[in-house]
Amino acid sequence: MTLRLDRERLVATMEEQAEYGATEDGGLHRLALTKADREIRDWFVDQLKEAGLSVRVDEFGNIFGRREGINPDAAPILLGSHLDSQPNGGIYDGALGVVAALEFIRTLNDKGIETTRPVEVVNWTNEEGSRFQPAMQGSGVWAGVHDIDTERAKTDDDGVALGEALHEIGYSGDVPAKPMTDYEEYLELHVEQGPLLAEAGADVGVVTGIVGFTWGAATFHGEADHSGPTPMHHRSDALVAAADLIAAVRRIPGTLGERTVGTVGYVDASPNSINVIPGEVTVTWGFRDPSDAVVERAYRRVLAEAEHAAEREGVDVEIEERMRAPAVLFPDRTVDAIRRAAKACDCQHLELLSGAGHDATHVASVCNTGMVFAVSEGGKSHSPEEFTSWDDCYEAATVLANTALEIADGTQ
Ligand code: HGY
Ligand code: MN
Ligand code: MN
């Protein structure tokens, strides 16, 4: 008999969380460690306490809630995702995974279900990697991929250090940011953020793994000068070099793998004045591919292209890789458990690789890990147009819950 959740409560909780950092056009602006992030974190801690969970916050601001099991020594299962958003992002990215985990706990409480294993729920710090890089930062520190002091020293565009911002919002916790015990499984529900489920007419996605990434920035140093009297052959125009690199980032994926993608998402030109030749320009790159070797080739290509662009324009260039995340494949036993739950819930499922990064990338290096995807209508994400119907949210949350119940060895 499959566990059914409280659909109304799931929807109401999703709508409630979407109020924190809400934008006029129905999106979310809830950057990591800002006031809106503090507010949603306070809200989340209240929900955990109301559900009877013990709460702890680690030194990197990751928030955990714990529901005891019949066997307190059994390795817990961990469910969750992230509550920070992109600038002007969507209301489902990350939040659906946290709310679905909460709904699982609330349903266990309603039905008086005791699980053999303890169940923990987590909100990871700074999954998005927009204000501070890298992405999946909190789960990366927790999994031992990143050094906590190095990450706490990272600064945003205004020079604010992450550790300071964490302290400012009151979430620099006292628990070490690392696994306090062995975990049996980590399960994350997330919106697909791509078009495949919708195109296939599937109800849910059974995620087989996540692509690898390289993210970085190239800063071109030219000479700011008057755009009028400076003859063309006297110029060292940082923006012209940056424009060359932007075109190259677009070209590189076509020469690599079928699934290679490349993006320049951030450009900062100074002094950014209509009649000044740009003196300094920073552009970022991001490449992803299912193969780490292809990601490495993309990285080498972008380095070479940046050097050539700088040479052609007679400017200097500084290059900094800000993130390298490995491609991961989830273990069969977890993928099988999610597939079984999808079938038990009578959901048409599609098996797919995630083109987006998730905290599961790093947690997969700590314990068995798997993901369930909910349908992203139109495949849009990281924008207010991000949309998943409540039915699709409910279906995917039910598959997550039934997978978790089986692994937590719940006795109904
Ligand atoms: O970039 C990503 O894939 C994620 O949204 N941080
Ligand atoms: Mn996300
Ligand atoms: Mn995202």
67, β-bridge pairs = 119
In the chain, the amino acid numbered 175 is V
Nearest in space to 33 (alpha carbons), one of 21, 19, 18, 47: 21
The band of 364, judged by pLDDT with boundaries at 50, 70 and 90, is: very high
Tell me the C-alpha distance between 188 and 371, whole Å. Answer: 5
Mean pLDDT of the region 202-215 = 98
Give the residue among 284, 291, 334 at the shortest CA–CA distance from 306: 284
> Domain 212-325 classified CATH 3.60.150.10?
no
Which protein residues have their CB within 5 A of the ion that is ligand 2?
93-94
Which residues, 6+ apart, have CB-to-CB distance to 361 below 8 Å? Answer: 136, 139, 210, 325, 326, 328
Contact 381, 356 (CB under 8 A): yes
Ligand nearest to the CA of 86: 3
The burial class, CB within 10 Å (0-12 / 13-18 / 19+), for 179 is middle
pLDDT at 409: 87
Is residue 180 very low, low, confident or very high in pLDDT (cuts 50, 70, 90)? very high
Indicate the DSSP class of residue 106: H
- Model pLDDT for residues 337-363, shown as the tens digit of each residue: 999 999 999 999 999 999 999 999 999
Torsion angle of alpha carbons 158, 161, 164, 169, nearest 10°?
Answer: 60
Could you tell me if 340 and 347 are in contact, meaning their C-beta atoms sit under 8 angstroms apart?
Answer: no
| Residue 232 pLDDT | 97
Decide: helix, strand or coil at residue 77.
strand
Task: Give me 270's structure tokens.
Answer: 């100074």
- Tell me the pLDDT tens digit for each residue of 27-48: 999 999 999 999 999 999 999 9
Q: Give the closest ligand to the alpha carbon of residue 83.
A: 2
| Residue of minimum CA distance from atom 4 in ligand 1 | 357
Name residue 322's amino acid: R
The fold of 7-211+327-408 is Aminopeptidase (3.40.630)
CA dihedral 183, 363, 47, 385 (to 10 degrees): -150
pTM of the shown model = 0.95
Calculated CA dihedral for residues 388, 391, 393, 396, nearest 10 degrees: -120
Find all residues with CB under 8 Å of 106, minimum gap 6, and list them: 6, 9, 51
- Which residue of 28, 81, 88, 128 sits with most ligand 1 atoms within 8 Å of its CB, as the best mutation to test the pocket? 128
What average pLDDT is seen over the chain?
97
Ligand 1, atom 1, residue with closest C-alpha? 357
Nearest CA, atom 6, ligand 1: 128
Residue 276 in contact with residue 227, Cβ under 8 Å? yes
Same fold, 7-211+327-408 and 212-325: no
Supply φ then ψ for residue 273, to 5 degrees.
Answer: -125, 140
DSSP state of 75: P
pLDDT for residue 312? 97
Q: What are the sequence ranges of the domains in the chain? A: 7-211+327-408, 212-325
Atom of ligand 1 nearest to the CA of 288: 3
Distance 132 CA to ligand 2 centre (A): 15
Neighbour tally for 235: CB within 10 Å: 18
Taking residues 391-406, report their average pLDDT: 98
pLDDT exceeds 90 at position 411: no
Q: Which residues contact 9 (CB under 8 A, 6 or more apart)?
A: 103, 106
DSSP codes, 252-271: GGGGS-TT-EEE---EEEES
